[in-house]
Amino acid sequence: MLRGFTNTLNSSQLQAGETQLRVENIQLNFGGVAALMDINLAVRQSEILAIIGPNGAGKTSLLNCISGLYRPQRGRILFYNDKEHEVTRLKPHQIARLGIARSFQNIELFRHMSVLDNLLAGAHIHMRSNLFSSLIYWGTAQREHIRFRRFVEDIIDLLEIESIRNNTVGSLSYGLQKRVEMGRALAMQPSILLLDEPMAGMNSEEKEDMARFILDINEEHGVTIVLIEHDMGVVMDISDRIVVLNFGQKIGEGTPDEVRNNPLVVKAYLGEEKSPFKFGQSNNNNHGKE
């Protein structure tokens, strides 16, 4: 399908393959519980990196450290655009301004706003009109509003949510809310997009749509994607690399093939009744499981 994008969704200035995000020796404790132990990993520009692991492995905690919601006791997280930024020193809104966007495992939309307003709220960091201009809605405020109103229309197109743009998000189905939440993160024109279980609780058709959107965003716009997902079919299918966490430790990393054949990873999943990797490499008829 042809889409006339008037705006890029990607604000990164790096070349594909350059290191964009580096997690160094992160240690995160909750009281006596270690949620993350000495985690190291790097995310490269324009790749899809999946983070997998059993429940409670520390996947969400890792994203929360990156977006500044949790503060690790040790280690640091570095983000590169024009220069190196130490994310671990910054507040969530400052991290967002660097172009790090995310969605949440449990949908955290602005419930009483329309879909449109949620998307516009996602573009908050790009809005510059001053308070006075806003109060009289004249000059920069009005121009800016019209420009971003057009911009979010691109996202509405991309995510195929034309028919619900004026609905209040609280009234939408779970699957659509997940989609809108990803749209809100995209409206930030992110350099890197962190998605926490974007397909959880969806039926196979919705999952396929979502996988297609993620691939679109990655391939057409070059947005780097860090994806937490439990559905191994999807993960093996769409990710370039995979990081495996278990009880707060990184137990494996590599291409889908390498991870599938990593004995430590297979062992970590042995508790489950079936091996999650039993299907063939290009076989994705597993989408419908759950």
Per CB under 6 A, residues contacting ligand ATP are 30, 33, 35, 53, 55-61, 105
DSSP string, 226-286: EEE-S-HHHHHHH-SEEEEEETTEEEEEESHHHHHT-HHHHHHTTTSSS-TT-S-TT--TT
Residue 204 interaction partner, one of other proteins, ligand ATP, Mg ion, none, beta carbon < 5-8 Å per kind: none
- The C-alpha atoms of residue 69 and residue 61 are separated, in whole angstroms, by 9
Applying CB under 8 A, does 33 fall inside the site for other proteins? no
Contacts of 16 (CB under 8 A, 6+ apart): 44, 45, 46, 222
Shortest approach of other proteins to residue 188 CB, angstroms?
A: 7
Shortest approach of other proteins to residue 105 CB, angstroms?
A: 12
Say which DSSP state 57 is in. Answer: S
Q: Residue 4 or residue 31: which is nearer to ligand ATP going by CB?
A: 31
Residue 61 interaction partner, one of other proteins, Mg ion, ligand ATP, none, beta carbon < 5-8 Å per kind: ligand ATP
CA torsion through residues 197, 202, 203, 207, sign: negative
Q: Residue 74 or residue 165: which is nearer to other proteins going by CB?
A: 165
Shortest approach of ligand ATP to residue 57 CB, angstroms?
A: 4
Q: How many residues sit close enough to other proteins to count as binding (CB under 8 A)?
A: 42
Shortest approach of ligand ATP to residue 104 CB, angstroms?
A: 11
Shortest approach of Mg ion to residue 60 CB, angstroms?
A: 3
Is-contact 145 119, C-beta < 8 A?
A: no
Shortest approach of other proteins to residue 121 CB, angstroms?
A: 5
Comparing CA positions, the residue from 195, 197, 189, 276 lying closest to residue 236 is 276
- What part of residues 60-99 is at the interface with Mg ion (CB under 5 A)? 60
Residue 35 interaction partner, one of other proteins, Mg ion, ligand ATP, none, beta carbon < 5-8 Å per kind: ligand ATP
Q: How far is CA 106 from CA 74, 125, 168, 247, in A?
A: 27, 23, 18, 21
Q: How many residues sit close enough to Mg ion to count as binding (CB under 5 A)?
A: 2
**Alpha helices (runs of H) in 69-173, residue ranges in sequence order:** 92-97, 115-122, 131-136, 140-158
Contact positions vs Mg ion (CB under 5 A) = 60, 105
Contact positions vs other proteins (CB under 8 A) = 67-69, 91-93, 95-97, 101-102, 104, 108-113, 117, 120-125, 127, 129, 131, 134-137, 141, 144-145, 162-163, 165-166, 184-185, 188
